[in-house]
Structure 1
Amino acid sequence: MVQNAEHHRNLLNESGLEMLNLCISQIEKATEALLNNDGDLAEDVMNTETRINALDLKIENDCEKFIALYTPVAIDLRFIMAVLKINFDLERIGDHAYDISKYIVDFDKPIEPHLFKNLKFEKMYATIISMFENITIAYEEKDVKSARKVFKKDKILDKINAESFSIIEKEINKDNAIIDQTLLMFAIIKKFERVGDLIKNIAEEIIFYIDAEVIKHKRKK
C-alpha cells in the first residue's frame, strides 16, 4: 500500500512538472511570436491549448483518486493540495499564453521596435523567465530558497506594469498612428503582470508543501 502510494505520488509529481514545462514553453513561444510577428507560431500556441486542458483534467482526476485511495495526511496531504493549486495556476498561465497568441493572430501586423524598448517589455519577459527557472528548481529539488526568490522579482513586473500607462500616453501623443499598437502592448503587459502573480502563487504553494508555512497573508501585512 505504501509503495503503491509512493508510485502514484511520483507519477503526480512528474505530471506536475510536465504541466510546468509545457506552460513555460507556451509563454516562450507566444513571446517569440509577438517579437517576430509570427502568426504561425502564435497559432501553434493556440492549438497546444487543448493539450494543456487535457493535462489539467488528468492531474485533477489523479489528485482526487489519490485522496480517495490513500486518505493522505501531513506532508502527503499538503503535497496533493499544492499540486491541485499549482495545476490551477499553471492552467491559467496557459490561458494567458493563448490570449496573447490570439491577439497576435487577430492584429496581424508587426509592433514598432521602439515600443518594446520604451515599455521595458524584454526586461519584463526576462524577469518572468527567471521566475520560471526559480520555481522549476524549487519544484524539482524541494528548494524553498529558490521559491522565495520570485517575490522580489514580481515587484519588477508590478513596477513596469504601473509605469506602462503613462509611457503609452506619451507614445500616443507623439504619434496617433500607433494607437492600436500601444493598446495591444498595454493588454499584453497586463497579461504578463498577471503571469507573474500566478508564478508567485505557485512559489507560495511550494513553500506551503515543503515547510507547512502559509506566507500569503504574512506578505500582505
Structure 2
Amino acid sequence: MISLDQHREALNQSGLEMLNLCIKQLENAREAFFNHDNELAEEVLHTENRVNAMDLKIDRDCERFIALHNPVAGDLRFVLALRKINFDLERVGDHAYGISKYIITVDTPIEERLMKKMRVEEMFETTLSMLEDITEAYVEADTKIARKVFKKDKILNQINMDSFAIISEEVKADAMLIDQVMLLFSVIKKLERIGDLVTNIAEEIIFFREAEVLKHRKKKGLGRDKK
C-alpha cells in the first residue's frame, strides 16, 4: 500500500497541476479576448473537459487519502485545504471558459478607448499576478506570499466598482455603446470573481500551514468575506 507521505506528495503534485492548468486557461482566455482569436477561445472551451476531469480525480484521491490513512493534525488540514483549493480552481477554470465563450458567441468589436477607461487589461494582469503569487505560496507553503493576494484583490474590487459609473457615463453619451460596455462589464465581473477565488485559496494555504481560519473574519488586511 502507498505510504501516507507518498500519497500526500502525489496529491500535492496533482494540486499544482490543476493550478497550472487553470492559469493557462486564463492566459489563453486573455489572449483570445484581446486578439479576438476564435481558435484560441475554442481551445479554452475544449480544455475545460480536462479541467473538469482533473477536478474529479483530485476529489476522489482526497477521499481515498482520508479513507486509507485516517490523517490527523497537519495531514488532515492539508487534505481538507486541498479539496477546497481544488473546488476554487475548478471555478477559476469555469470563468476562463465563460470569457472565452463570449468571444465566440458575442461578435462585438470593442473600442480601445473603452478598454483603457474600464481598465480591463490591468484587471487581467492583476488577476494573473495573484495566481502567480498563489502558485509560489502553494509550492513553498509560504503564508507570507499567500497574504500578498489580499492587497491585489482590492484593485480588482475597485475596478469593478468604478465600472458602474463609467458604463452610465458612456451610455448616456452614446447609447450605441451599450453592447461594448456590457461585454466589458461581464468580463470584469468574472475577473473580480476569480480574484475572490484566489483569496479563498490563500486562506486555505494559511489554514493548512498555521491552523488559522480566516473565513468570516472582519476585514483587517488579512482576509475578507467571500461571495
Class of the TM-score when normalised by the shorter of the 2 chains: over 0.9
Which 10-residue stretch deviates more, 37-46 or 69-78? Answer: 37-46
Which secondary structure state, in structure 2, belongs to the residue aligned with residue 93 of structure 1?
helix
Matched AA of 1:194: R
Change (3 A) 1:54 1:205: same
The one-letter amino acid of 1:7's match is Q
* Conserved 8 A contact 2:108-2:180: no
Structure 1 segment 77-116 matched on structure 2, within 5 A: 77-116=76-115
The CA distance in 1 between the partners of 2:165 and 2:108, in whole Å, is 24
TM-score (norm 1): 0.96
**How far apart are residue 114 of structure 1 and its match?**
1.0
Give the CA deviation at 1:125.
1.2
CA shift for structure 1 position 154: 0.5
Contact 2:108-2:179 at 8 Å conserved across structures: no
Q: In the alignment, which residue of structure 2 is the partner of 1:69?
A: 68
CA distance in 2, matches of 1:39, 1:179: 23
Distance in 2 between residues matched to 1:43 and 1:111, nearest whole Å: 20
Q: Is the 8 A contact 1:37 1:109 kept in 2?
A: no
Confirm or deny that 1:169 pairs with 2:168: yes
Q: Which runs of 4+ in 1 moved over 4 A?
A: none
Query: Partners of 1:51 and 1:111 in 2: how far apart?
Result: 31
User: Which residue is 1:17 aligned to?
Assistant: 16
Aligned residue for 1:183? Answer: 182
Supply the RMSD in Å over aligned alpha carbons: 1.2
CA contact (8 A) 1:42 1:105 kept: yes
Provide, for residues 11-59 of structure 1, a one-character-per-residue CA deviation record: whole Å limited to 9, x for no partner: 1000000000111111111111111111111111000000000000000
* Shift in Å, 1:218: 2.6
Equivalent pair of 1:36/1:110 in contact (CA under 8 Å)? no
Structure 2 CA distance, aligned partners of 1:180 and 1:107? 9
**Could you tell me which residue of structure 2 aligns to residue 29 of structure 1?**
28
For 1:109 and 1:156, the matched residues in 2 are separated by 26
Task: Report the CA distance between 1:4 and its aligned residue.
Answer: 1.1
Aligned length: 220
| Residue identity opposite 1:183 in structure 2 | M
- Cα deviation, residue 174, structure 1: 2.3
**Contact 1:39-1:108 at 8 Å conserved across structures:** no
What amino acid is aligned across from residue 198 of structure 1 in structure 2? L
